[in-house]
Structure 1
Amino acid sequence: MIRWCYILFMALLTGLYGFRVAGQYVQRTVPVTWLPAAHLWQDGGLSYSYASPLQIAVLLFMVISTFRAARHAIVPRRWKRRLAHLIGWVYLAATVVRMVPGISIPPTYAWLETSFALFFHLVVAIYMIALAVYLDYDATRRKEHYYQAYGTPD
C-alpha cells in the first residue's frame, strides 16, 4: 500500500511537469487565453529552443522512472539512491535560494513573472526526492524479503 502512495505521488508530479511542458508549447505555438502568457512559463535562464529539449528529456525521465517503479523494474542500488537524493536536495536548495529574494524583499513584478516557472522547478526537485525515498523504501523491503527467505547472515 505504501509503495503505491509513492508511485501515485510521483505520477502526480510527473503530470504537473507534463502540464508545464505542454502548456509552454501551446503558448509558444498557438496562444490561448486560459493559460498564462508564454513568457511566464520560462524563467529566462535558457531560450525556449534550448530549454524545450531539456524539458522533454526531464519529462521522459520522470515518466520512465515512474512506470518502472510501478512495475518493480528499478533495482534500488545504493549509488542510485544516493544520486537521486543528491540531485533532489541540491536542486531544491538552489530553487529555494532563488526564491528567497522574492519572498523576503517586497515582491516586484519581475519576481512574480519567474515565480510560476520556479514552482515547476520545485516540482522536479520534489520528484527527485520522492524517487530517492521510494528507492530507499524498496531497498529496505527487498532486504527484509531476502532475510525472511534465507535468514540473516552469520
Structure 2
Amino acid sequence: MRNERYAALTAALGIAFLVRVVGHVIQRWAPVGFLPDEERWQGSGLWYPALLVLQIAILLLFVVVVTRMNRGLNLLGPRWIKPIFALNVLYFAIMGIRLLVGVLADVGVLGDDSFTSANWFSTPIPPIFHLVLSAGVMLILMYQRRLTEESA
C-alpha cells in the first residue's frame, strides 16, 4: 500500500474520532435529540474537561501522523513496532470484550446485570471508538513496518 493510502485510511479513522468528540461536546453543552444522551458518550469516571483535553491531543496526533505519512516519513523507530503491536492487540481485545459484554448484557443474555450495569460496560460508544483508535495504531504500525522493510 502506498503512503497516501495509509494516510487516507488513518485520516478517515481520525475523522470518525473527531465526530465522536464533537458529538460528546454537543451533548454536554447543547444537547440535541438525534444524538445519544450525554451519559452514553463516556464510560469512565474521568473528569470530562480532562477527557476532552486528551481527545484533542489525540486528534492533533492524528494530524501529525497523517502529515508524516503523506510525506513518507518515519513515525517511530523499528524496535518499537513489536512491543506496540503486542500492547495494541491486548488493547483491541479488551475493548472488543468490553463491547461484547455490554451488548450481551443489554439484550439479557448474561442474566443478572449487577456486574454489567457498571457504566464501563453499559455504554457502547466508548469501546467502539477505542477500537477505532486501536485500528489507527495498527495502521501506523503497518505503515512503519513497510517503511522499515523498504529502507533495509
Q: How high is the TM-score relative to the length of structure 1?
A: 0.78
- Find out whether 1:140 has 2:149 as its counterpart: yes
Cα distance, 1:16 vs. partner?
0.4
In structure 1, the partner of 2:17 is 17
What are structure 2's unaligned runs of at least 5 residues?
Answer: none
The share of aligned pairs that are identical, in percent, is 26
CA distance in 1, matches of 2:15, 2:89: 21
* Closer/same/farther in 2, CA of residues 93 and 66 from structure 1, 3 Å limit: same
1:35-46 → structure 2 map (5 Å cutoff): 35-46=35-46
| Worse overlay, 131-140 or 80-89 | 80-89
CA distance in 1, matches of 2:21, 2:48: 11
| Worse overlay, 85-94 or 124-133 | 85-94
* Closer/same/farther in 2, CA of residues 138 and 26 from structure 1, 3 Å limit: same
* Closer/same/farther in 2, CA of residues 125 and 96 from structure 1, 3 Å limit: same
The higher radius of gyration belongs to 1
Q: How high is the TM-score relative to the length of structure 2?
A: 0.79
What CA RMSD, in Å, does the superposition of the two structures yield over aligned residues? 2.4
Indicate if the aligned counterparts of 1:40 and 1:114 stay in contact, CA closer than 8 A: yes
> 3-state SS of the aligned residue for 1:31?
coil
Indicate the structure with greater helix content: 1
1:117-136 → structure 2 map (5 Å cutoff): 117-136=126-145
* Closer/same/farther in 2, CA of residues 122 and 61 from structure 1, 3 Å limit: same
> 3-state SS of the aligned residue for 1:33?
coil
> 3-state SS of the aligned residue for 1:120?
helix
* Closer/same/farther in 2, CA of residues 103 and 29 from structure 1, 3 Å limit: closer
Q: Deviations over 1:81-100 (max 9, x none)?
A: 23442342221022123123
* Closer/same/farther in 2, CA of residues 100 and 49 from structure 1, 3 Å limit: same
CA distance in 2, matches of 1:47, 1:33: 24
CA distance in 2, matches of 1:138, 1:30: 44
> 3-state SS of the aligned residue for 2:124?
helix
Q: Segments of 4+ in structure 1 off by > 6 A?
A: none
What are structure 1's unaligned runs of at least 5 residues?
Answer: 144-154
* Closer/same/farther in 2, CA of residues 103 and 130 from structure 1, 3 Å limit: same
Cα distance, 1:142 vs. partner?
2.3
